[in-house]
Amino acid sequence: MPTSGPADTASVVVGNVTKIFNQGRSDEVPALSDVDLTVGSGEFVSLIGPSGCGKSTLLRLIADLIEPTSGTVTVAGRPAAQARREQEYGIAFQQAGLLEWRTVRRNVELPLELRGVGRAERRARAEEMLELVGLADFAGHYPGQLSGGMQQRVAIARALAVQPPLLLMDEPFGALDEMTRERLQSELLGICAKTGTSTVFVTHSISEAVFLSDRVVVMSARPGRIRASIAVELPSRDEAGRQAPVYFEKITEVRQALRS
């Protein structure tokens, strides 16, 4: 396994990043402007903002799927490209993106296979991750035999299989019904707490952002800038937390930051 940095190392540092798509062409799009973002080790940060404000772009920059026009991205103290090679993170997007012809178990094993992890260890790790997301009994099923919520949990298990220090999630629960969404939110928090994973989570939902996050980062319309960074401390991240006055206060604070 790759070793993560010392505990006091920030998990992600985005420094003065600007992203302009198609720069110098007539279809130039300034997507992000002067973005600074630090995610601490073990911290859960949500990105929220109007559609098209550059949330996915920021996540893709952190994942080194695209490069900034200017500025720097560091993951676990390394340049993003190096962190990607060393598989410092797992990614889960809105669509589960499972391979239909592979069983659930073998979908979860895939990133381990790509890293050359041996068969027995792969299998053990996949079982452990499926246990964690409550799908141990479905290891032999195919994705087409599962509900949308279950498929999404498989995708999360797969993202976690390499035990990444950093989890990047882009509206992973966007397509799910409210009940499933709430259950997966709780499961995700449990998993993050158990594994000490740092998380950057993109969502449209103010309540989801507040419920999940240590910090909600509010972005402005395109070109995206960071407008506010709102720390959230709930008494607990469960049903009681969802009913705590501070939960509603933070929802209001985020909503106001989005509107201002």
Ligand X SMILES: Nc1ncnc2c1ncn2[C@@H]1O[C@H](COP(=O)(O)OP(=O)(O)O)[C@@H](O)[C@H]1O
Q: Which residues bind ligand X (CB under 6 A)?
A: 21-22, 29, 31, 49, 51-57, 222
CA distance 132 to 197: 14
Q: What one-letter code names the amino acid at 86?
A: E
What does DSSP say about strands 78-79 and 70-75: parallel, antiparallel, or unpaired?
A: antiparallel
CA atoms within 13 Å, Cβ hemisphere of 222: 14
- CB of 67 vs Mg ion, minimal distance in Å: 18
- Interface segment toward Mg ion; rule CB under 5 A; list 33-41, 53-61, 182-190, 248-256: 53-61
- CB of 28 vs ligand X, minimal distance in Å: 9
Q: Which two tokens stand for residue 60?
A: 């893709």
- Indicate the residue among 161 and 202 with the shorter CB distance to Mg ion: 202
CA distance 164 to 167: 7
- CB of 149 vs ligand X, minimal distance in Å: 22
What is the DSSP-derived secondary structure letter of residue 224? B
- CB of 89 vs ligand X, minimal distance in Å: 18
Identify what 21 binds: ligand X, Mg ion, none; CB under 5 to 8 Å per kind: ligand X
Q: Taking CB under 5 A as the rule, does residue 56 contact Mg ion?
A: yes
CA distance 93 to 139: 21
Q: Taking CB under 5 A as the rule, does residue 46 contact Mg ion?
A: no
What is the DSSP-derived secondary structure letter of residue 145? G
- Indicate the residue among 53 and 104 with the shorter CB distance to ligand X: 53
Identify what 118 binds: Mg ion, ligand X, none; CB under 5 to 8 Å per kind: none
CA distance 233 to 118: 41
- CB of 209 vs ligand X, minimal distance in Å: 13
> Which residues lie near Mg ion (CB under 5 A)?
56
